Structure formats: structure tokens, C-alpha cells
Amino acid sequence: MELALTRVGQSSDPARRSSRSSGVSSKTMNDYRRSARLFVDLMGDHPVNSITPEEVIEFREKLLMLPARYFHDRPFRDLSTIDECIEAADVLDRQTEAEIEQEIEDGRLSPDQRDHVFRERAVPRMKKKTVKKHFTGMNAIWANLLNQGLPEARKLFNPFSGLMPLKSEIADEMTERLKLSTETVQAIFTNDRIVAEMTQRPEDRSIEFWVLMVTCFEGMRREESAQLLLDDVTVDTAIPYLSVCKGPGKQIKTQAAERDLPIHPLLEHLGFTAYVRHMRRQGYKMVFPKLCDTRPGTRARSTARWFARILAEVGTYKHGSVMHSWRGTMSTKLTSAGVPLPTVQDILGHARDNTASIYYIEPATLDDKRDAMSRVTYGLKPAPGNRLVPDRPVGVDLRIVASNAETTC
């Protein structure tokens, strides 16, 4: 097959062949193929040497209009084409706008609330971070095509180069993930589901409860929590700690994500170390072996759904309030408690971002991290029976705040 005549739908085949020698994982190659299929679905299956920058820009704009869950949500999953999904989402948003205008006319909303309420009710569209992933995949496919060394390949240029969303745009978008206020965390810990869990012995509590607690108090990514092995947990030392590391069946996001984290004193009070000892006596290898989905990268889905139900029950669920919100909340509270930024980055598994902190400031020790993490209590205190309770009466204003999360710990 002449490379210049290769169509987009076939373009991932040369990439797959070259990936065997370049060390690209099968998961990454599957992501590349999904990106190629998405381009074909939206733009048509053209010869690769006919793709223009204008078409790539149109592809990017269509991705940004695509419903984020177009293959899951009921209004879209039975539609035939992706273009129909975009049109259906536009229709729903126009209906939402009409409903909001009617509520304003009836006096149930003020005009000042219009934009905020629409953002809350509108169909969520594909995030720029996801768009960038698809552009990364298409860039990789084109790079492999260009590197085949055939005469036709030398005539090709990469139309995707330089057109992916900017890092600054993605950073602005990421601020939409909501942080959890102290009132919200207290409401979570007085929710019937959580209270019922805490009345049981540590070894009898559900897997979802423990994954949520580890994510909450350790500031870990949800999949980092869900994929822990018992060998990753060291409890019989002066400072018990968890190790986030690579291993069979495990994934980490970046090299900086490999780290040791002391077990938070409140997590220890909940009986997490007792739970770990129990799982070892039972002969398990994983800390959370009974999760519904055991595929790497998806183990925490059941916990995420469980957490969403809790937020709905306490009246604080909003789009953007997810398990990852615990990381943003932990980061905010550590910073507000006066913890140095390099230590915050070491706890969260973020790469240090300037020369001084990389080369001249020593990595935070377990003692440093334990001191820092102990400052974050979310307004909770230990109670008898391996329980946690609010350190003051729960207020009636239970809100998830985005940009002005409380600065008290």
C-alpha cells in the first residue's frame, strides 16, 4: 500500500507495527486507534495526505461540542452518528435556556443567576484535556507515518502539529473541578451510609468505604488508592506508610507520582492498619481485592459511583464534584496551613516546577509529610470505636465551593 494513499482509518496500522520496537503500550495504541476512529466518524475517511489544517481545526471544534458521555448517556447512546449526538446536545441546551428564561420570568431565578444555572444544567461537553489526548494520538500516528522512510512519506506534513489546546487553556478548565468545603466533608461523615460503615469493625467495612477514606486522607488519585497491594503498605514501623509505585497490573500517572505517604493519623484511627493486617491474615495480595472492576485504570469506578450517591443524599452533588475533588481540597488545605509548596508537590505526586525546588530543596521526608498531613483534619476529630465525627455541629449551609474553598483546616 502506498503510504500517501493510506486513509485515516488505516493509519494506526503502521503506528501499531512500529510501536512494537518503540515500547508503546497496547493501551496507548488502543487510545491512538480510538482517536483515528473518532476523526473518521466526524470528518470522513480521507487519504492522509489530503488532510488540511482547516479540517483539523474543524475536527477540534467538533470535539469540543461533543457530549462528554455521548456513548453512555441515554439521550445519545441510541443515535447513529456522532454529528447527531452534537445536534441532540444542542437541542437539549436550547431547551434548558428556555426553561431558565421561564424561571426568571416567574421570579424563581434572578437574571444574575442565568449564566451560573445554565453551566450547571447544560450538557457537559468534551474537555480540552480530552481533546488534547486525541490530538496527541493523531500526532503520534502522523509521526510514525512520516518516519516510515518511504518517498511518499516525505511528501506528507503533520496537519495536527501546533493545533492542540494550549496548556494554559487546559489549566483554566481544570479549575472547574470543585473543592469540598469543611461543611460538605462534615455532612459526608454524618451521612447514613458512612455512619453505618463506621459502626462496623474495620475488617467488616466495605471496600468502597476504604478506597474513599484512603483517597480522602492521603490525597491520592482514586486509582492509586484502588490498586494498592498489601506489599505497598508498611504498618509495623514508627511511621506507617503507603508506597505508590509501579508494579504488575498497576499504573502510575507520571514518574513524580511514585512516592511514599505516611498513613494519616485520622485514617489510622479509623482502623486502616487493622484492616490491612486482617487482609494479610486472609492471604490476599491486594488491599482492596473485591472491587467490581479489576481492570487497571478502572478499579475505583464503583467507589466513584458510591461517593456520587452520598453527595446526592447530603444535597451537595454538582457537576465537577468527583473523587478527584479530594486532591484539590487537600492541596488547598495544605497550602493554607503553611506547608511549603515543594512538600505539597511531594505529597500529591506532582513534579516540582522550578530549578530551586528541583536541585536545592531536599525531598520531603516521611516526618515532613506526616507533620504536614496532620494539619489537615477537614474539621473532624477521633471518636470511640474507630469513628470520626465533626469537631463542631454541622451547619445547614452545605455547599461545594469552587474557587474560594475554606482556608481553615
Whether residues 226 and 367 fall in one domain: yes
Residue 93 lies in a domain: yes
CA count, 13 A, side-chain hemisphere, 221: 19
Whether residues 323 and 337 fall in one domain: yes
> Which residue range forms the structural domain that includes residue 113?
74-121
Give residue 156's pLDDT: 55
Whether residues 60 and 86 fall in one domain: no
Whether residues 111 and 233 fall in one domain: no
* Percent of the chain that is helix, strand, coil (3-state, to 5): 55, 5, 40
Residue 373 lies in a domain: yes
pLDDT at 400 over 70: no
Whether residues 80 and 14 fall in one domain: no
Q: Find the helix or strand (DSSP H, E) in which 333 lies.
A: helix 325-336
Give residue 205's pLDDT: 95
Closest CA to 330 of 318, 353, 346: 346
Are 319 and 263 in contact, with CB atoms under 8 Å apart?
A: no
Whether residues 8 and 91 fall in one domain: no
16: helix, coil or strand? Answer: helix
CA 244/CA 252 separation, integer angstroms: 8
Whether residues 164 and 306 fall in one domain: no
Residue 312 lies in a domain: yes
187: helix, coil or strand? Answer: helix
* List of residues 6+ apart from 326 with CB closer than 8 A: 180, 215, 216, 219
Residues in the chain: 409
pLDDT digits (tens, 9 = 90+) for 163-187: 666 555 555 555 455 678 888 899 9
Q: Find the helix or strand (DSSP H, E) in which 149 lies.
A: none
Residue 405 lies in a domain: no
What's the sign of the alpha-carbon dihedral 397, 399, 403, 407?
A: positive
pLDDT digits (tens, 9 = 90+) for 60-86: 889 989 998 777 777 887 888 888 999
* 190-221 core/surface letters (b: 16 or more CB in 10 A; e: else): ebebbeebbeeebeebbbbbbbbbbbbbbbbb
Q: What is the mean pLDDT of residues 102-124?
A: 83
Count of beta carbons in the 10 Å neighbourhood of residue 259: 22
Give residue 17's identity as a one-letter amino acid code: R
Decide which of 317 and 162 is more confident: 162
pLDDT category of residue 269 using cuts at 50, 70 and 90: very high
Q: What is the mean pLDDT of residues 122-133?
A: 86
In sequence order, what DSSP letters do the residues of 280-310 get, joined into one string? HHTT-SBSSTT-S--STT-TTHHHHHHHHHH
Residue 344 lies in a domain: yes
Number of domains in the chain: 3
Residue 319 lies in a domain: yes
Whether residues 261 and 340 fall in one domain: yes
Whether residues 231 and 363 fall in one domain: yes
pLDDT digits (tens, 9 = 90+) for 342-363: 999 999 998 877 665 666 678 8
Whether residues 49 and 194 fall in one domain: no
Residue 398 lies in a domain: no
Residue 404 lies in a domain: no
Q: What is the mean pLDDT of residues 148-175?
A: 58
What CATH number does the domain containing 313 carry? 1.10.443
Whether residues 140 and 282 fall in one domain: no
pTM value surpassing 0.85: no
pLDDT digits (tens, 9 = 90+) for 244-263: 998 887 888 888 899 999 99
Whether residues 28 and 81 fall in one domain: no
Q: What is the mean pLDDT of residues 5-29?
A: 57
CA 171/CA 257 separation, integer angstroms: 19
pLDDT at 111 over 80: yes
What CATH number does the domain containing 41 carry? 1.10.150
Phi, psi at 380, each rounded to 5°: -115, 160
